[in-house]
A and B are shown apart, each in its own frame.
Chain A
Amino acid sequence: MARINQLKYYVLPTVYEVRWAEFTEKLLKHVLLSWRCLILFLREAQKIKNDEIDAKIHLKFLLNLRNLRLIAFLADAFFLFKNLQKHLQSDDLNIISLQSYLDNFNAHITDMKDGQKYLGGNEEKLEIDLVHENIADNNSSQIKLFDIVLDTLDSERTRGGQANKKRNIDVIRNNVVEQILKSMNKRFSSENDLKKILMPFVNFDRDGTNMSSAKHAI
């Protein structure tokens, strides 16, 4: 079976607490990297008596286009977060260099607003690999990923049997980006006064110093 299918599986991490973005990003990325393998595995698991229900639920989740797009977007966002946190934990970080890392992160996250995808990221790759096909018989279309038909339904049934429409993926994307920017700004604004005092003295030489701000700080 392995030879016939020729797929790759990345071990899904068992440690995935949102303590640091690295673990979350790893889980999201590995699910995407192993997607074809997981689909095949879940289809096989569906045939096993005790695993039937769970496998069906997971399969439905992974075959949903909206979910796939959300996972790909989150994997990109968490990738940026992971990189930021690695810089924040590095030895060469100080209160002055912190701002440049934050500015860089904010610029990248802002770029992901309004449907823009992270360049070279998972989301962009997913959109490239999606294939739209027209079905001749009933004049409708379907979306395939590696010859596997995806579920494009974006609503779920409530317990009462009513269809509950899920939020549009672009709305979620913008919401996430806005929230990250707002939250980061809130969390990192407490040192602004301190930075205002320190900054004029960082490059304290003839060319690099703004004398009026240094005088103001004194």
Chain B
Amino acid sequence: MHALSTHQPRITLEVGTQYRCSIVEAHLKAPYHIAAAKAALIKANTNIEAVTTLEKMISKSQEKLANRIGRYATCVFVDAKRLTLSAYSWPARLVAHEYGAAYNINNREQSANAIKKIPLQYVNPTSHAEILNCIVAVEGDLLSKKIENCIALSLRADGSVDRTNQDKIYVLAKIVNSEGKQETLFLGMGAQSQRGAGGLFNAIKEIINAAGEHLYLKVLKKMSSIVTDGASVNIGERSGLWKLIDDDAKVHNARQNILKIWCAAHRSDLSLKDLKKVINELPSVMRSLKKLSSFINKSSMRLALLREVRCSFKIVFFHSFSMITLTNDIFTSTVVKRWHA
């Protein structure tokens, strides 16, 4: 631009000039104005047209790829601007998604028109929870049929406290379906209103019945085993959950004796606890590491100092084995040792 003109035209300066039609027309046709307008357009990043033949070829041949990149870029840009992925940022994300979905590199108006049609009846956390209930209700019949037709069923129940301090019972069923294949079904979750094994038993019954009409009886008749943790409320001989389910099965003439299984994952956890009791060094090391973690994580100033110290260099201290070392080790530890054995 500067090569074409030795001095800056008065019309572009702050002092300006007299805006006669002839001056404006001449300015609009001037090469420096055309170049400046193009640069401003690129800078503003709006409505960039594919002008050269090569650009047109690329936008035509790679249209799908370009549209996909445009879609992702739109969504990521909005996420970055919102600085959160929380549920309440959904309106903006919904608009971005609709805009991105309709994005067409060769027809920019298409995506602009798409967002005009959005009703903005977006899903917020409350309506999301309501819709989840609808899904369960719709799936209820299917669930009932699956359980009616299955060959055997194993019931699993365990309690868990969530982040909002709500203690809930989660009930799952593992079935062997009519084709002989294993399938895991989520029957539902709910709170326990009464204490003890009786309360737990009633809660499980209510949870299962909420998933389908009279589903508990169907489950009981197909039940071949029950899996729980080893809490006395479950395995208690006189009035534990296992005993209550056994009694109920007899009342309803269920077809078989129910196998009672203590959850393997819980048992492995208990063996870890045994380890902590016997090996004195283990709790002591873990205590020191917890203190270290708390020391760093509980102070924003220390975290800031740590951030200063850490780097972007991508070499990991441990686990940086080369494949050659690893294969050599496998060779020496297995082949050579066995050879000499």
Whether A81 contacts B316 by the Cβ 8 Å rule is no
Contact among B264, B279, B308 with A175 in the assembled complex (CB-CB below 8 Å):
B279
Q: Is B25 an interface residue (CB 8 A)?
A: no
Whether B309 contacts A7 by the Cβ 8 Å rule is yes
Whether B317 contacts A33 by the Cβ 8 Å rule is yes
Chain B residues, CB < 8 A from A89: 265
Q: How far is the CB of A170 from chain B (nearest CB, A)?
A: 13
Q: Is B255 an interface residue (CB 8 A)?
A: no
Chain B residues, CB < 8 A from A85: 265, 268-269
Bound complex: CA A183 to CA B267 (Å): 10
Whether B182 contacts A176 by the Cβ 8 Å rule is no
Whether A6 contacts B313 by the Cβ 8 Å rule is yes
Bound complex: CA A35 to CA B1 (Å): 57
Interface string of B260-296 (1 = CB under 8 A from A): 0110110111111111101101100110111111011
- Can you spell out 21 A-B residue pairs with CB atoms less than 8 angstroms apart? A1-B308, A2-B312, A6-B311, A7-B310, A18-B272, A27-B293, A28-B289, A36-B317, A41-B309, A45-B305, A58-B288, A58-B295, A67-B288, A71-B285, A89-B265, A120-B329, A126-B318, A175-B279, A179-B274, A179-B278, A187-B271
Is the contact region of chain B dominated by helix, strand, or loop, or is it mixed?
helix
- Given A33-B316, A119-B330, A3 and B292 touching (CB < 8 A)? no
Interface string of B182-200 (1 = CB under 8 A from A): 1010000000000000000
Q: How far is the CB of A121 from chain B (nearest CB, A)?
A: 9
Q: Is B302 an interface residue (CB 8 A)?
A: yes
Whether A119 contacts B329 by the Cβ 8 Å rule is yes
Q: How far is the CB of A53 from chain B (nearest CB, A)?
A: 11
Footprint of A on B, CB under 8 Å?
174, 182, 184, 259, 261-262, 264-265, 267-276, 278-279, 281-282, 285-286, 288-293, 295-297, 302, 305-321, 326, 329-330, 333
Whether B281 contacts A179 by the Cβ 8 Å rule is no
Chain A residues, CB < 8 A from B272: 18, 21, 81
Q: What total of chain A residues lie within 8 Å of the partner, measured CB to CB?
A: 76
Q: Is A207 an interface residue (CB 8 A)?
A: no
Bound complex: CA A45 to CA B292 (Å): 12
Q: How far is the CB of A99 from chain B (nearest CB, A)?
A: 10
Q: How far is the CB of A155 from chain B (nearest CB, A)?
A: 14
A-B contact count (CB 8 A): 173
Q: How far is the CB of A54 from chain B (nearest CB, A)?
A: 5
Q: Which chain A residues numbered 9 to 67 have a C-beta less than 8 Å away from chain B? A: 9, 12-14, 16, 18-21, 24, 27-29, 31-38, 40-41, 44-45, 48, 51, 54-55, 58, 61-62, 67
Chain A residues, CB < 8 A from B279: 172, 175-176, 179
Bound complex: CA A173 to CA B290 (Å): 21
> Which one, A132-140, A157-165, A188-196, A208-216, is touching chain B?
A188-196
Q: How far is the CB of A213 from chain B (nearest CB, A)?
A: 19
Bound complex: CA A70 to CA B280 (Å): 12
Kindly name the residue among B270, B278, B285, B317 whose own CB sees the greatest number of chain A CB atoms within 10 A.
B317
Q: Is A107 an interface residue (CB 8 A)?
A: no
Bound complex: CA A45 to CA B174 (Å): 53
- Given A91-B182, A176-B279, A45 and B302 touching (CB < 8 A)? yes
Closest chain A residue, CB of each to CB of B263: A88
Q: How far is the CB of A69 from chain B (nearest CB, A)?
A: 11
Whether A125 contacts B319 by the Cβ 8 Å rule is yes
Whether B270 contacts A70 by the Cβ 8 Å rule is no
Whether B293 contacts A16 by the Cβ 8 Å rule is yes
Bound complex: CA A187 to CA B267 (Å): 6
Whether A8 contacts B310 by the Cβ 8 Å rule is yes
Whether A88 contacts B309 by the Cβ 8 Å rule is no
- Given A18-B273, A37-B309, A13 and B293 touching (CB < 8 A)? yes
Closest chain A residue, CB of each to CB of B319: A125
Bound complex: CA A8 to CA B321 (Å): 17
Whether B306 contacts A98 by the Cβ 8 Å rule is no
